[in-house]
Amino acid sequence: MIVFTFLLAIIFMLWIQLTSVEGFAPLWTNEEKMDYSGNDISSLTGISLNNCKKKCMMDSKCKGIVTDYEGDGPGNCWLKSTFGTGVEDTKNTYKLTRR
């Protein structure tokens, strides 16, 4: 029983580490049909939405992403250092708040 509890605690701690970066739990705000041009850190192709978000969370300069995903992808993703004026488009924007 003690071994099971110990393993459960380790799994829980690993889950916390995988869902946060540098001790911050991410909070994503979605803006559907909104595009922000410029301020690209990088562009990624052929990856899932979840993996794109992970790439953003690993870069301390990244403030969010703009995507052209249908569902979870794969698709194109642009990591953003900041957001200017948005324009209605077919793309979706996910802004990252680190807390």
Q: pLDDT tens-digit profile of 40-65?
A: 999 999 999 999 999 999 999 999 99
CATH number at 58 reads 3.50.4.10
Q: Is residue 2 part of a domain?
A: no
Task: Give the total number of structural domains in the chain.
Answer: 1
pLDDT at 69: 84
Q: Compute CA distances 77 → 8, 16, 17, 59, whole Å.
A: 35, 25, 24, 14
Q: Is residue 42 part of a domain?
A: yes
Do the beta carbons of residue 37 and residue 87 sit within 8 Å?
A: yes
Q: Is residue 73 part of a domain?
A: yes
Which among 16, 47, 99 is positioned nearest to 65, based on CA atoms? 47
pTM of the model: 0.71
Q: Which residues of 19-42 are buried (b: 16+ CB within 10 A; e: fewer)?
A: eebeeeebeeeebeebbbeeeebe
Q: Is residue 60 part of a domain?
A: yes
Tally the C-alpha atoms within 13 A of residue 9's C-alpha that lie toward its C-beta: 6
Q: pLDDT tens-digit profile of 66-91?
A: 999 876 668 999 999 999 999 999 99
Element (H, E) at 24: none
Q: Which domain holds residue 72?
A: 25-98
Q: Is residue 16 part of a domain?
A: no
Q: Is residue 19 part of a domain?
A: no
Q: Is residue 14 part of a domain?
A: no
Question: Quick one: average pLDDT of 19-36?
Answer: 77
